[in-house]
Each structure stands twice: as C-alpha cells, then as structure tokens.
Amino acid sequence: MFTNLTLAALLALAPAAPAALTAHAAPSEPDDLTTSDVSFRTGDGITLGGTVFAPRGASGGLPALLLVHGSGTGGPGFRKQLRGEAEAFARQGIVVLAPDKRQDGYSPFQRDFAQLADDALAAFAVLRARPEVDPAKAGIWGLSEGGWVVPVAAAKSPDVKFAVLAAGSGVSPIRQQSWNVANKFAWSGIGGSLSRTFPTTWQRMVADAGMFGGAHHDPVPVLRNVKQPLLALWGAEDAAVPPAESAEIVRDTLSEAGNHHYTIRFIPDAPHAMHRSDPQGKRLPDLMPGYADAVGDWVDAVTSGNPPRAVVEPLPRQENRSSEVTPSAWWESAPVQFGVLGLFVLLFGAYPVLALLRRRRAGTWPARVAVVAGVVGSLGTVGYLSTLMFSLTANGIEAGPLLGDRPVVWLALQLVAVAAVVATVLLAVRWRASTDRLRHGLVLAGGVLFVPWALYWGLLLP
C-alpha cells in the first residue's frame, strides 16, 4: 500500500502501487470484449479519461463495476495499470470502467481520500449512464490504496449498490507501511536496531514532515458508514497489507455497525495485488486463479438480489501483527529533529571555526573526536536512512553488505556514535582543567545532546 519519504519510494510505501508501465503499442481489443474510451470531469474541473470494457454483444441490463487504482501518481493512460482486472471482470459478464487517475492535487506528499472518492463518483456516473448497464446494479472496486477510497465513495452515495475491496487495508496508511517495511527487513535478513528504527521511527518523522500524504487516515469510522453489501478479498500471501488483521477489522466494524451483508475471502498463494508474478516478484498481467471468478460470482449474487450474509473464510496465517504508529510527540517532531541537526552543526562546527578565528591550536583529542564523530554520526545517520527509502524493492531492501544481520554501514555509524559518547565523557572529565572552556564547552554541549538523540535513533542500541 503510499505502499511506498522522497517519494518515488513513499508510494512504494504504500502500499501498493503497481510499477509504472513502459511505453508499448496499444494492446488489441480482445475478441470476446468491446472497449470504448470515455471521459469525465472531476469536481475541481479536471478532465480525466477512461476505457469501458464490456462483453461483446452486450445490449443492456448488465451489472457494472468502476475500478479505483492503488497508489501511484497517475496521469493520462494510467488506466492501463488496471487492464488485467478490467478484462477479467468483463469476462464475468460485468461492464467495467478503468479510469485514469488525477495528477493534480495527488502526490506522495498529498493524498486526499475524499477527493479521490469524489473523482471515483464522477467516473461512476458516466459508467451508470452507459446503455449496457443497469444503474441499479453498479458498484465500485478498489485496489490497495483504493481500499481506503471506495468506502468513502460508498458512504457518500446511495447510487453505489455494492463495494469490492481488493487488498484493502483495515489500518492506517502509516501503520500498514510500517508493517510492510518491517517485512522487507525480515526478508532481507536485517535485524537489530535498524529494523526497528526505519520501519517505525523514520516513517513517523517522514509523515510528521508532511512527506507521507494521508498517513494517519483511520478507515474504521468510514467503514461504519458503509451500508451496501461488501466483498473484501486479500491474497493469502499478502505482505504489503496485513490480511488477517485487516479482515478482522472489516468484519468487526461492519457487524458492529449493523451491516451483515459482507463476504471476506482469501485467494490461495496470492501476493498483494493478486496477480501472478515472475521468480523475481515482478507483477505479471494475469490475475491469480479463482480471483476473477470470486468477484464475478459475488457480484452476480448481489445484483440478483441475494447478497451473501456474513461469509468469512478462515483467516490466513499472519506471522506478525501490525503496531500502531502514533503521531510524533513534540520532541520527536520533524522541526525539532531538524533543529537538533542544526544545533549539532553549530555546536560541533564552532570548535574549528573558533580555533581559526582565535588562532588557537587544534585542541585536545577528545574534543576533536567528539566533533568529527558527532557530525559524521548525526548527518551520516540521516543520510543513510534517506538512501534506504530508495532501496525498497518488491522482495526486500538493499541496505548494503551485511555483517551477520546488521548492515555494515549501520554498524559503522553505531561505532562512530559510541566514539562520540566516549569522547564526550572524557571531555567532561577534563573540562574544568581546560584552558579553553568556551570551545570545549560548546563541544561538550553538543556531545551531551547527541546521547539521547543517538538513543532515540537506535545508534546506541543493539
């Protein structure tokens, strides 16, 4: 799921965005389907396009399904990301609209699920007006990030007669992303403090800095307002969204709200998007066996007036539960953290600057070590954590060579942090006897501040 930070990576943070397609010739129309291009206008005046897929020879009265994208920055032609689903569902006797996704007002830094829901409803109105469609049999399907969008749209409009969530998350985007990234660390064989710092502490600061749009969106209050029949599916092997946990949340929320027309299913052996994948984990166009049939059979039952009631398949094994990622306390906030980095540069940097201005010797070795280690430890840590955002892959994270289960770069930063602490202690012992208390006092202040900072970021933890 927004997967996805500097956010080519963030929306890998979220989850859940399919990789951008490379330029190819337009695929030919399938023999058993017809396609037609349409356009629709959003509430803020943006014109977007889409493609309608319908069974060949369809004349009217068919159920309809609007597809809502997972994460990704959209643009013209983005509908191609959903062609596999569109064709497979159309072969189930459903008229399907695969729309493009907005670029304006949407980025890894800015995600407004209510706005995306309004876009979906604008496209939905076009689909319902199609001559092949019975508007009383029209619903909306959403993949991954779309699992946060579709309930908003369903709660807003009674025209939405049913909803389908595919790999939707029952937890907030930042909680889902933290769980997703922790899984990638485990697959990559990385343990220790970095495996806790990056998935949680770093993600929280990125969200607090405004670089993770919609990070703390709570899907539960929205689900309470969904009164339509709902189908929720997950891949049994989903490692981007916690499948069993999300299923429990959907089941319990709808039941408590009085909506018992829900069905919860799991596609055996399927990964996050429920597509086939190659040995390297790259998503292929074809859907996993049984997925399209599950959607088609359920839509047929609902639109025939027989919505299944409280059907829940056995939950798949989910080894690790997700953990709540609370908003930052004031001292954890991005402005404070960036301010502390600035203080390190000022306090440690004052030592050589004052030496030049006052033409003093370089000073004592504990002070020199504290200065170098403090600057390298603080700026190096932020730099390394930033590079990890670009290192997330489908199957893990490229954190550099490992020594045991620890990245060598992280171990080096931890050694530098230990050196800074030791040098600070020695400097404190010698400070009263110093002939240059001002310079040494500034370095000592930086070293004292460095200790809790390094503990918070895991540099002084195993």
CATH dotted code for 33-172+217-312: 3.40.50.1820
**Kind and range of the H or E run holding 140:** strand 133-143
The answer to whether 378 touches 453, Cβ cutoff 8 Å, is yes
* pLDDT, mean of residues 300-325: 95
Residue 278 CB neighbour total at 10 angstroms: 8
Contacts of 433 (CB under 8 A, 6+ apart): none
- CA-nearest of 424, 324, 413 to 368 is 424
- CA-nearest of 270, 140, 155 to 219 is 155
Q: Mean pLDDT over all residues of the chain?
A: 91
Q: How confident is the model at residue 279 (pLDDT cuts 50, 70, 90)?
A: confident
d(CA 221, CA 219): 6
pLDDT cut 90: percent of the chain above it: 81
Checking if the pLDDT of 15 tops 90, the result is no
Q: Where are the domains of the chain?
A: 33-172+217-312, 330-456
Please give the residue that has the higher pLDDT: either 156 or 211. 156
In this prediction, residue 348 carries a pLDDT of 95
d(CA 81, CA 371): 51
Checking if the pLDDT of 52 tops 90, the result is yes
Q: 68: which 2 tokens?
A: 């809502």
Q: What confidence tens digit (pLDDT) does each residue in 241-275 have?
A: 999 999 999 999 999 999 999 999 999 999 999 99
Checking if the pLDDT of 13 tops 60, the result is no
Checking if the pLDDT of 157 tops 60, the result is yes
Q: What confidence tens digit (pLDDT) does each residue in 63-96 have?
A: 999 999 999 989 999 999 999 999 999 999 999 9
* pLDDT, mean of residues 441-455: 96
Tell me the three state secondary structure of residue 150: helix
- CA-nearest of 227, 191, 175 to 461 is 191
In this prediction, residue 431 carries a pLDDT of 79
- CA-nearest of 302, 303, 297 to 61 is 303
pTM beyond 0.85: yes
Instruction: Indicate the pairing of strand 163-166 with strand 133-143.
Output: parallel
> 432: exposed, middle or buried (C-beta count within 10 Å: 0-12, 13-18, 19+)?
exposed
d(CA 345, CA 139): 56
| CA atoms 331, 334, 339, 344: torsion sign | positive
In this prediction, residue 361 carries a pLDDT of 61
In this prediction, residue 59 carries a pLDDT of 87
d(CA 229, CA 219): 17
End-to-end CA distance of the chain: 30
Q: How confident is the model at residue 5 (pLDDT cuts 50, 70, 90)?
A: very low
DSSP 258-322: T---EEEEEETT--TT-EEE-TT-PEEEEEPTTHHHHHHHHHHHHHTT----SEEPPPPP-SS--
Checking if the pLDDT of 19 tops 90, the result is no
* pLDDT, mean of residues 313-317: 95
Conformational region of residue 305, where left means phi above 0, alpha means psi within -120 to 50, and beta covers everything else = left
Please give the residue that has the higher pLDDT: either 107 or 454. 454
Q: How confident is the model at residue 31 (pLDDT cuts 50, 70, 90)?
A: confident
Percentage helix, strand, coil, to 5, in the chain? 45, 15, 40
Q: What confidence tens digit (pLDDT) does each residue in 395-428 have?
A: 889 999 999 999 999 999 999 999 999 999 999 9
Q: How confident is the model at residue 25 (pLDDT cuts 50, 70, 90)?
A: very low
In this prediction, residue 364 carries a pLDDT of 85
Checking if the pLDDT of 1 tops 80, the result is no
Q: How confident is the model at residue 357 (pLDDT cuts 50, 70, 90)?
A: confident
- CA-nearest of 222, 212, 154, 157 to 180 is 212
Residue 103 DSSP class: -
**Kind and range of the H or E run holding 135:** strand 133-143
DSSP 347-363: HHHHHHHHHHHTT----
Checking if the pLDDT of 240 tops 50, the result is yes
DSSP 19-88: PPPPP-PPPPPPTTEEEEEEEEE-TTS-EEEEEEEEETT--S-EEEEEEE--SS--BTTGGGGGHHHHHH
Where does 98-241 have alpha helices with state H?
Answer: 113-128, 146-156, 173-187, 194-196, 203-208, 219-224
Residue 110 DSSP class: B
